[in-house]
Amino acid sequence: MGDQHSSGSVGAPSAQALQRLSELVRRVNSSTDTTQVLEEIANGVREVLGYGVAAISQLEGDTLVMVVVAGPEDARRQILGRRTPAVDVLDEYRAADHWGILRYVPHGRLDPAHLIGVWTPDIQRSEDPDDWHPDDALYAPLYSATGELLGNMAVDLPPGLRVPGQAERDLLEMFVVQAGLALSNAQQRERLARQVHLGGILKEVAQAGSQLGIEALLDAATDVVNRGFGAVRTWVRCLSDGEGGQETSIGHPPPAEASPGIETLRTDLAVTAWPTGALVLIAVDDVDSAFLPVSRVAVQAAMRAAAVDHGVIAPVGVGPEMFGYLAIGLGADHPQLRPDELATIGEIARELGRMVHSARLFETEQRLVSELRDLDRYKGELIATISHELKTPLTTIIGHVELMEDEGIDSRSVEAIGRNAERLDRLIQNLLDYAQVQERRDSVRRTVDLVELVDAAIELLSQQAESGGVRVVFERPPCRVEVLGDAEEIGTVLNNLLGNAVKYTRTGGRVDIEVAANDAWTQVAVSDTGIGISPVDHSRVFSTFHRSSNPEALSLPGTGLGLAISRRIAEAHGGRIEVESTLGAGSTFRLLIPSLSNPTNG
Ligand code: ADP
């Protein structure tokens, strides 16, 4: 192959070499096409300096990739695109003779299999130490201005097939310096472009924060991140903050498979990564179990399901509190994330934390405002109802008192005064009960016999039932039926249910009471053959101050508080009230309280 290359200049640099160099200097400073510039440099080394082969590799991550080869076709085929771990190359540099910035590894010093090119020229082996040996290697590390290794130039088949002398080395160094500069420029351009790009992503993520609602803002932010990093999928999961903030899980594109359980992953990250501000790098076959001791397997399964090869998980939170994470999954063809990209991802995760935090504060505020509005409306309704309900019986009382003054005492007036005073008393009792359950703290619970309480309620209402012509039937069970509770409160519920049944049943109707229990629930059912409740009113009868739209019901005195009070009491006992009713046919109200054997009592 020796005849394939011309013999280069030895001694002073030729005019051709200098001219080629000055052209290269101009190209290096003006061109943005790095590969083309490197090709021109390699060709210059071959054509002007007379080397048979000049090959330039560029550092990508921790690997040197052969990007340009000027030389015979078989050499190009063998070594173009070849990837060599940078550490192997550094090992060779260490073994080499230092010729200024060049590194010469004479044959025999290293196992030839380790040589970077692994292309061996087909030339005679000679005993003359000045002759070039097929296993001799000559490299030049390509450094940036700040001393970072950016690439390597390897040359072979030197001019005259002689080990290059000082003048040839000097000339080669000049070309090498240009190659270093070209890579350095390319690196700076790339860095700048990346900075602009990363800044753009950060800005867009911050803009997503103006979306209303946590889901909308996370949806917009994950879309930006996913596009910005050319990711396969980006997830954000935020756990409920326990103060009304919902668990939110957003993926872009929307995940087909469930992502790993947020609880375990969050616990892992909160313990390992959050305190130090670390990001967790993940690869499908290498998930760091020091960071994800519990969730490692689930993370790998989720990565496989989403065709993710590697990526990063960044905790999301604010102040000392971590409430979720951002995960970016990359495909196998995506290069490892660089330090500036990782720093940006960390900044995005912090931004997401701030955004979610303030969105949650805003939502809590909105909820409080709406609760305050409800409360204000209730207050208005309360005053209106109380005024109306107090005014009606008082007007009657005053009217009859005037009559008594004018006409002497009439027994019907006394009766009317008594009736209306009772009505006032009932109303005030209802208001007192309501106020009491509103302020209710856990009362002391004792075993209470429901049969006894039903008996007492029937006794209380017997007169009303009798005067209304309503028959009250109670099939008393043979033994006590006990629950845990507050006797006074449960008594109030029974008085209300029984009172309504009697009140809303016409003369000749009937009210049936039944007490029954199973392992889970103990119930008192109060059924009547009364006016019933329309489907529209069904769901509303438990609201405070709600009175049904049925004119027949409205003609009877009431406050719309009894069932609201009863429901609160039932719920405070771990139970509930159910209703079944048919308009015009009758109603059944059931009070259910956990049985003594029900585990909720434990
Ligand atoms: P009040 O009876 O004082 O109006 P409640 O809260 O006890 O208030 O009941 C709310 C409404 O539910 C009543 O106004 C009435 O329209 C309806 N209701 C309650 N119980 C019955 C019943 N047994 N039959 C028909 N309607 C009923």
Q: Is the CB of 496 under 6 A from ligand 1?
A: yes
| DSSP strand pairing (471-474 vs 510-517) | parallel
Ligand 1 center to 373 CA (angstroms): 26
SS (H, E, C) 251-283: EECCCCCCCCCHHHHHHHHHHHCHHHCCCEEEE
State residue 258's pLDDT score. Answer: 55
What mean pLDDT comes out for the span 540-557? 77
- Rounded Cα–Cα distance for residues 467 and 478 (Å): 29
What mean pLDDT comes out for the span 133-154? 90
Scan for tokens 């609160």, then name that residue.
568
Ligand 1 center to 565 CA (angstroms): 12
Across 215-229, 343-357, 417-431, least confident range: 417-431
Residue 277 has pLDDT above 80, yes or no: yes
Give 472-490 pLDDT, tens digit per residue: 999 999 899 999 999 989 9
Give 96-142 pLDDT, tens digit per residue: 999 999 999 998 887 766 665 567 888 888 888 899 999 899 999 99
What mean pLDDT comes out for the span 78-86? 90
Give 38 or 113, the one with higher predicted confidence. 38
Residue 257 has pLDDT above 60, yes or no: no
State residue 259's pLDDT score. Answer: 59
State residue 507's pLDDT score. Answer: 95
Q: Is the CB of 500 under 6 A from ligand 1?
A: yes
Q: Whose CA is nearest to atom 14 of ligand 1?
A: 547
Q: How far is CA 512 from its chain centroid?
A: 54
Ligand 1: which of 498, 500, 503, 540 to mutate, judged by most atoms within 8 Å of the beta carbon? 500
Q: Whose CA is nearest to atom 13 of ligand 1?
A: 547
- DSSP letter assigned to residue 338: P
- Rounded Cα–Cα distance for residues 255 and 306 (Å): 7
State residue 345's pLDDT score. Answer: 95
Ligand 1 center to 560 CA (angstroms): 7
Q: What angle do CA 266, 267, 272 make, to 5 degrees?
A: 100
State residue 262's pLDDT score. Answer: 63
Residue 425 has pLDDT above 70, yes or no: yes
Ligand 1 center to 590 CA (angstroms): 14
Q: Taking Cα atoms as reference points, which of 499, 485, 503 lies closest to residue 429?
A: 499
Ligand 1 center to 483 CA (angstroms): 26
State residue 554's pLDDT score. Answer: 73
Q: Is the CB of 434 under 6 A from ligand 1?
A: no
Long-range contact list for 188-197, CB < 8 A, 24+ apart?
Answer: 189/32, 191/340, 194/338, 194/340, 194/341, 195/340, 197/228
Q: Is the CB of 501 under 6 A from ligand 1?
A: yes
Residue 391 has pLDDT above 80, yes or no: no
Neighbours of 93 (CB within 10 A): 15
Q: Is the CB of 96 under 6 A from ligand 1?
A: no
Q: Is the CB of 353 under 6 A from ligand 1?
A: no
Give 563-602 pLDDT, tens digit per residue: 988 998 999 899 999 999 999 999 999 999 999 887 776 5
- Rounded Cα–Cα distance for residues 575 and 584 (Å): 28
Give 205-248 pLDDT, tens digit per residue: 999 888 778 888 888 998 999 999 999 989 888 876 555 445 66
Q: Is the CB of 565 under 6 A from ligand 1?
A: no
Q: Is the CB of 326 under 6 A from ligand 1?
A: no
Q: Is the CB of 558 under 6 A from ligand 1?
A: yes
Residue 6 has pLDDT above 50, yes or no: no
Q: Is the CB of 295 under 6 A from ligand 1?
A: no
Give 177-213 pLDDT, tens digit per residue: 988 888 888 888 888 998 999 999 999 999 988 877 8
Q: Is the CB of 433 under 6 A from ligand 1?
A: no
Q: Whose CA is nearest to atom 12 of ligand 1?
A: 541
- Rounded Cα–Cα distance for residues 94 and 83 (Å): 20
Residue 2 has pLDDT above 90, yes or no: no
Residue 505 has pLDDT above 50, yes or no: yes
- DSSP letter assigned to residue 51: -
- Rounded Cα–Cα distance for residues 353 and 325 (Å): 9
Question: Do 521 and 594 form a contact (C-beta atoms < 8 A)?
Answer: yes
Helices first, then strands: H and E counts in the chain: 15, 20
The two three-digit tokens of residue 247, written as one number:
């668990």
Ligand 1 center to 397 CA (angstroms): 25
Instruction: Give 309: exposed, middle or buried? Use CB within 10 Å, 0-12, 13-18, 19+.
Output: middle
State residue 369's pLDDT score. Answer: 92
State residue 595's pLDDT score. Answer: 94
What mean pLDDT comes out for the span 279-303? 85
The model's confidence at residue 397, banded by pLDDT at 50, 70 and 90, is confident
Ligand 1 center to 538 CA (angstroms): 10
Q: Is the CB of 426 under 6 A from ligand 1?
A: no
pTM over 0.75: no
Q: Whose CA is nearest to atom 20 of ligand 1?
A: 500
Q: Whose CA is nearest to atom 7 of ligand 1?
A: 562
Residue 56 has pLDDT above 70, yes or no: yes
Give percent of the chain above pLDDT 90.
40
Ligand 1 center to 435 CA (angstroms): 19
Terminal Cα distance for the chain, rounded = 94
Question: Do 173 and 186 form a contact (C-beta atoms < 8 A)?
Answer: no
Of ligand 1's atoms, which has the minimum distance to the CA of residue 531?
25
What mean pLDDT comes out for the span 545-550? 73
Question: Do 82 and 66 form a contact (C-beta atoms < 8 A)?
Answer: yes
Q: Is the CB of 505 under 6 A from ligand 1?
A: no
Ligand 1 center to 557 CA (angstroms): 10
Q: Is the CB of 528 under 6 A from ligand 1?
A: yes
The two three-digit tokens of residue 227, written as one number:
């596009």
Question: Do 236 and 352 form a contact (C-beta atoms < 8 A)?
Answer: yes
Ligand 1 center to 564 CA (angstroms): 10
- Alpha-carbon Rg for the chain, nearest whole angstrom, is 45
Q: Taking Cα atoms as reference points, which of 527, 524, 535 lies closest to residue 505?
A: 527
Q: Is the CB of 495 under 6 A from ligand 1?
A: no
Provide the mean pLDDT of the chain: 85
What mean pLDDT comes out for the span 294-305? 85
Of ligand 1's atoms, which has the minimum distance to the CA of residue 526?
23
The model's confidence at residue 150, banded by pLDDT at 50, 70 and 90, is very high
Give 359-368 pLDDT, tens digit per residue: 888 888 988 9
- Rounded Cα–Cα distance for residues 312 and 309 (Å): 11
Question: Do 167 and 139 form a contact (C-beta atoms < 8 A)?
Answer: no
